[in-house]
Amino acid sequence: MSAQQTSVPVVAIDGPGGSGKGTVAMRLAQDLGWHFLDSGALYRLVAVAAMDRGIAADDEAALGRLAEGLDVNFGVSGDGMLVLLDGNYITGRLRSEPVSAFSSRAAALPAVRAALVRRQRAFRKPPGLVADGRDMGSVIFPDARLKVFLTASPDARAARRYKQLKEKGENVNLSRLLEEIRKRDERDSSRAISPLKPAPDAHIIDSTEMSIDDVLIIVHGLFQGLSADD
Ligand code: C5P
């Protein structure tokens, strides 16, 4: 990485699925006029590409090669992100539960994680980057200016996911979602490489009883506090 790149400020927002980190990170990036990286989308893209090609979730060599060569493009639409894989729009498929489960299994494989490191760091461009994921503050951008670890109870996260998927017209079951969230937490937290855990210097925010707006106010406050210290 060039010296110019490392001087570009990063805000890292990590946490489990359904904690609200994606929405908070995207809105913070919009407010600051910075770039945005949804690192989970990269793991989800590996999952979609693998499922389309019939590659198994434990075939580390094949998944590593796939992650290395992924042909991906991101764009922004009015209310969210547009994702192209091999030139095709696949945004709608990214958040489905089979893709969530596959991506979490693939993300435990060292070859997949290694293949995505450079791709993630390439998002670090002036004037700054807001990155959301599991290991943004601990592994990918350890020198991030501000690190936030956003969490919420599994019940609150399952209820949020339920609402999101319902609004998209998907047929979902709350208790199954809760079960899947617990399984994914367990897998993400217990894996040997880059497990889901706060960086030692992260600010931990529990959003169980908070709205996204409440969380954004806190994160903006932390960010402004940093600027005042500079
Ligand atoms: O954040 P999201 O739920 O979209 O991430 C999908 C999966 O990708 C997670 O369950 C996790 O296993 C993996 N992931 C990861 N490291 C990241 C981002 C996501 O391991 N930085």
Q: Across the strands, what pairs with 85?
A: 72, 88
Give the per-residue pLDDT at 201. Answer: 95
Atom of ligand 1 nearest to the CA of 105: 12
72, 85 contact by CB (below 8 A): yes
Over residues 174-192, mean pLDDT:
89
Atom of ligand 1 nearest to the CA of 135: 21
Hey, whose CA ends up nearest to atom 12 of ligand 1? 104
CA dist 226 → 11, 66, 110, 229 (Å): 11, 39, 34, 5
Summarize pLDDT for 106-149 with one digit per residue, the tens.
999 999 999 999 999 999 999 999 999 999 999 999 999 999 99
Give the per-residue pLDDT at 207. Answer: 94
Return the biggest CA–CA distance within the chain. Answer: 52
Helix spans in the chain (H): 3-6, 21-32, 39-53, 60-69, 97-106, 110-121, 154-167, 174-190, 212-229
Atom of ligand 1 nearest to the CA of 184: 10
d(CA 75, CA 14): 22
d(CA 190, CA 134): 13
44 Cα to the center of ligand 1, angstroms: 8
Instruction: Inform me whether the pLDDT recorded for 213 exceeds 90.
Output: yes
228 Cα to the center of ligand 1, angstroms: 32
Summarize pLDDT for 68-118 with one digit per residue, the tens.
999 988 877 766 778 889 888 888 889 888 998 899 999 999 999 999 999
Burial of 141 (0-12, 13-18, 19+ CB in 10 A): buried
6, 143 contact by CB (below 8 A): yes
Summarize pLDDT for 4-51 with one digit per residue, the tens.
557 899 999 999 988 999 999 999 999 999 999 999 999 999 999 999
The domains of the chain are located at 10-217
Neighbours of 85 (CB within 10 A): 20
Instruction: Inform me whether the pLDDT recorded for 230 exceeds 70.
Output: no
Pairing of strands 88-89, 80-85: antiparallel
List ligand 1's pocket residues with C-beta within 6 A: 17, 39-40, 43-44, 103-104, 107, 133-135, 184, 188
Which tokens belong to 136? 């943004």
Enter the DSSP assignment of 92.
G
Hey, whose CA ends up nearest to atom 16 of ligand 1? 134
128 Cα to the center of ligand 1, angstroms: 22
Element (H, E) at 81: strand 80-85
pLDDT interval class at 229 (50, 70, 90): low
145 Cα to the center of ligand 1, angstroms: 22
To the question of domain 10-217 being in CATH 3.40.50.150, the answer is no
